A and B are shown apart, each in its own frame.
Chain A
Amino acid sequence: MSNGVNGKEPHMVIENIDLAFGGTKAITDISFTVYKGEICAVIGPNGAGKSSMLNVINGVYIPQQGSITFEGKKFAKMKPHSAATMGIGRTFQNIALFSGMSVVENIMTGRNLMMKSTFIENALGIGRSKKEEILHREACEEIIEFLGLQSIRKTPVSSLSYGLQKRVELGRALAAEPKMLLLDEPIAGMNIEEKLDMACFIQEINRNRGTTIVLIEHDMGVVMDVSDHVVVMDYGAKIGDGTPEEVMSNQKVIDAYLGVSHDD
């Protein structure tokens, strides 16, 4: 584990983000900082605006106000494409795999951003086409091995179980070699074994590759175990920010999220 919130370089600074859909305010004036190399968990009850927050970070939603500073560069709005080129990877809450492709094709698609060969080179099989394909396949195979997907690499993703699909989606995000990974409920709906596997993968990615991770999760046990930094949201506003211990003892958080205590 890294040494928490203090004494670290900020990787991404989110300032005063406001997001509304028509008259409905999804996010109100949220600011927080994600530090380099940490695992930052965003928690909060359903409808608190967590997924919207991730969508703002990688440009799927455009906020009405506020700014995002990623690696020192300040943006009023992000575009999904430029977020990807800058090194922000992402998985989705509802699996968003390319259902018509196999596992290895899905993961290779994650690296398409790095492939420079044009469609003419690809069509004729000349120039960079073949070399790139082999080179990136090697990189993808490393990910497949890391995630233990060897036996199903040629299987169409639509025939895989939910847990495996989530794993493939993580692989696809990882294939782009992101500097920051946004994971939207990576372990929701899994059985205990799959959960533990996934938690291990997330920690290993964080430690071995130094990838900064922002994750949304409902499983408090996992959140408190893996994360260095927790941001709590409720009704679109931030109500807590700090280390897991700090957040757990924050009265507002206890009231809003973990429930008001009745014991005295």
Chain B
Amino acid sequence: MYYRETGQTVKNYTEDRRMVPLREDRWIMWAFLAVLFIGVPMFANDYVLSAIFIPMMVLGIAALGLNIAVGYTGQLSLGTAGFMCFGAFTAFNLLFRVEWMNVWLAFLMSGVVAGLVGIIFGLPSLRIKGFYLLVSTLCAQFFAEWFFNAYPWFLNNSTSGVAALPPFHYRFLPYQEQIFDLFGWDKDYNAYIWRYFIALITTVLLALACKNMVRSSTGRNWMAVRDMDIAANVIGISVGKTKINAFFVSCFYCGIAGAMYSYCYIGNLDFMIFNLRRSFLIMFMVILGGLGSILGSFLGAIFVYGWPILLTRTADAVFGGGTLDTAFIENNSKIIVGTFIVVLLIYQPMGFAGLWNSVKHKLRIWPFKT
């Protein structure tokens, strides 16, 4: 009822394969983009940008990358943070060592490098499936941690194990200096507002590209391999090539997410944060958000990242900051999150994407029930 589908007819196949088929959904989407591009930068302060919007987008892209492998192609992977690590280091070394490099090209290259690494660690998928593949992708995780620990050159021989990302790394506009002079802006190119725009544009482009892939032959190949690989083979889909392709694209996204993690979110480079725990968190985002769903990847990221923050802040607001032990609040929020995850997955195995779909279905037929 809230959705009036009556009268919305499609006249040709171009209209039929629109990204967002319903008019109401298109309005929501444009409004949402307007808020993200105009509203948020106008009203949000640095805390909101740095602690809420940027990490959610970065983790959303990482989750989307993992979802391409796990949700769309059915190839389990636990190397996400390792691939992110390769992406982050590629971006750092390019921007640090190459004079004419800009952020966009560096991000693209970090995706390509991580994708190529992903192909290597994805090769076992040609022979093994399921949990065994999980173990082989775990190698990527440990390999990345070892590799960047063993070769500190990639970290500019930093003794602390962390490399700073100075403002001159952030070259994201042509004639950047002149433009900043022209408008009289402060030349702290790494201000959160610029990081936010870099992250937002990358996120929107990557999400669009993913949507384009899943509604074309590429995505159908992935899903065919996921659902029934023998049948896929029999209708002429090369299962091996499809798996390798999926690993490349998946790790391409993870690599860019890694570069964004360093450049947009935390603002320094540190291989210790790309640890196994991060891989698991991203896996949870995918499972909670919904396997094989782009929207779900972002919803999962928002929830897994945002829910603990929301709980701690609520607890602070209710009980007053300082009256309760922070460790106590944190532990309790973990218990609440864990319980919520279990309950959600019992009632809605398809995660938030499934939840969203059923809400949308109810809105469509309201006031009728089924």
A-side residues, CB < 8 A to B, are 58, 60, 80-81, 83-85, 89-90, 92, 96-101, 105, 108-110, 112-113, 115, 117, 119, 122-125, 129-130, 132-134, 137-138, 141, 172-173, 176
Contacts and interface: CB of A to CB of B under 8 A. Distances in A.
B213 A96 contact: no
10 contacts: A81-B236, A96-B230, A113-B236, A115-B217, A122-B219, A123-B210, A123-B249, A129-B212, A133-B13, A176-B235
Contact of B216 (A80, A85, A100, A129): A129
Contact of B231 (A96, A105, A117): A96
B234 A113 contact: no
Contacts of A138: 13
Contacts of A89: 235
Interface string B125-137: 0000000000000
Given A84-B234, A84-B236, A123-B209, A98 B216 contact: no
B224 A109 contact: yes
A124 B236 CA distance: 24
A101 B227 contact: yes
A141 B292 CA distance: 26
Contacts of B227: 97-101
A119 B250 CA distance: 12
B364 to A, nearest CB: 14
Contact of A123 (B212, B232, B233): B212
Contact of B220 (A60, A92, A108, A123): A108
Given A58-B234, A84-B234, A123-B218, 15 more contacts: A90-B235, A96-B228, A96-B234, A97-B228, A98-B232, A101-B227, A105-B220, A112-B224, A115-B217, A117-B216, A119-B218, A122-B213, A123-B213, A124-B209, A173-B235
Nearest to A105: B220
Contacts of A176: 235-236
B57 interface: no
B239 to A, nearest CB: 8
A60 B234 contact: yes
B206 to A, nearest CB: 9
Max count, chain B CB within 10 A of own CB: residue among A80, A130, A133:
A80
A41 to B, nearest CB: 20
Contact of A137 (B13, B209, B210): B13
Given A100-B292, A122-B213, A134-B14, A112 B220 contact: yes
Contact of A134 (B13, B218, B234): B13
A137 B220 contact: no
B262 interface: no
A70 to B, nearest CB: 15
B246 to A, nearest CB: 9
B75 to A, nearest CB: 14
Max count, chain A CB within 10 A of own CB: residue among B210, B223, B226, B245:
B223
Contacts of A97: 227-228, 231
A129 B216 CA distance: 8
A24 B209 CA distance: 50
A215 to B, nearest CB: 16
Interface of B: 13-14, 16-17, 209-210, 212-213, 216-221, 223-224, 226-228, 230-238, 245, 249, 292
A113 B233 CA distance: 10
A101 B245 contact: no
A90 B234 contact: yes
Contact of A112 (B14, B16, B230, B235): B235
A122 B212 CA distance: 6
A113 B235 contact: yes
Given A81-B238, A119-B249, A133 B216 contact: yes
Contacts of B238: 81
Contacts of B233: 60, 80-81
B117 to A, nearest CB: 18
Contacts of A123: 209-210, 212-213, 218, 249
Contacts of A58: 234
Contacts of B212: 122-125, 129
A90 B237 CA distance: 13
Given A113-B235, A173-B235, A98 B209 contact: no
Max count, chain A CB within 10 A of own CB: residue among B14, B226, B228, B234:
B234
A115 B224 CA distance: 15
A97 B231 CA distance: 8
A260 B17 CA distance: 59
A132 B223 CA distance: 19
B235 A122 contact: no
Contacts of A112: 217, 220-221, 224, 235-237
B223 A101 contact: yes
